[in-house]
Structure 1
Amino acid sequence: MTIDSGPVPGTLRWAVLLLRAEAVALGLVAAWLIWSDLTARTTHLTSALLVTAFAIGGAAVLWALGAALGRRRSGARAPAIVLQLMLLPIGWYMIQGGLGWLGVPLMVLGLGVAGLLVSTPTNRALGFD
């Protein structure tokens, strides 16, 4: 469903911006993985390529979901929320592994974007009245 009436609310605009920022960040990780795959002395090629492909695919999906939500496609909200909630266990295991400086912000980001996506102005903009 697409709703094109009225201006885009700030909550939806911020959610789209943050999803695209996540896509860019994951794209940079993918670029680093490609460089790492090409310059590693020894590696398990299949595993390296799968991790790199997963990062590239994740960046593409985040960008596409941001674009769809920017066009007020209501069907993009649920997958975007699921991806944001996936940041919670990732952040938790980062904290457990001693990377709390990165894990905590990832968890806050995931909860924040999910909150923006279920907020009342976003619901109205996407036609979930």
Structure 2
Amino acid sequence: MSRVTIDSDPNPTTLAWAVRLLRAEAVALGLVAVWLVWADLTADTTDLPSALLVTAFAVGGAAALWALGGALGRRRAGARAPAIVLELMLLPVGWYMIQGGLGWLGVPLMALGLGVGALLVSPPTTRALGF
């Protein structure tokens, strides 16, 4: 007979914060997407295909972050790896912001990516997701 272990913390704080931060990132990227749509509609001259591609990328990123946050909130283990990949994508984005003189934004973005990534691989989150 195998022993059954009952998880004493069904929703660990680390997982709850990871979900909150993923959802906050989704909202922030959604606001950027709204601004991009407005910019696409009001621009005097533009490269329309490129503008639409950047806007679609922002909308897709916001939707992916929101969906991954929801899946992790429901403790779906398969959502952890894609969420970590999206968080790691903040590192080069932040780096190029720093190189471009936007260190005030790049450094916090890099810290956010590393922080959420750490929350997603922490032992309580790992146990809650069944790994």
TM-score in same-fold range (> 0.5): yes
Q: 2:111 aligns with which of 89, 108, 117?
A: 108
Q: Which residue of 2 aligns with 1:117?
A: 120
Distance 1:110 1:98 in 2: 19
Q: Which amino acid aligns with 2:95?
A: W
Q: Structure 2: which 5+ residue stretches go unaligned?
A: 1-6
Q: 1:59 aligns with which of 59, 62, 69?
A: 62
Q: Which residue of 2 aligns with 1:89?
A: 92
Distance 1:7 1:118 in 2: 16
Q: Aligned Cα RMSD in Å?
A: 1.1
Q: Which residue of 2 aligns with 1:23?
A: 26
Q: Which residue of 1 aligns with 2:77?
A: 74
**How far does residue 39 in structure 1 lie from its aligned partner after superposition?**
0.4
Q: Which amino acid aligns with 2:23?
A: R
Distance 2:56 2:92 in 1: 21
Distance 1:97 1:65 in 2: 30
Q: Which residue of 2 aligns with 1:34?
A: 37
Q: Structure 1: which 5+ residue stretches go unaligned?
A: none
**How far does residue 28 in structure 1 lie from its aligned partner after superposition?**
0.1
Moved over 2 A (4+): none
How many percent of aligned residue pairs carry the same amino acid? Answer: 81
Distance 2:98 2:118 in 1: 22
Q: Find the structure with the greater CA-based Rg.
A: 2
Distance 2:11 2:105 in 1: 31
**How far does residue 7 in structure 1 lie from its aligned partner after superposition?**
2.5
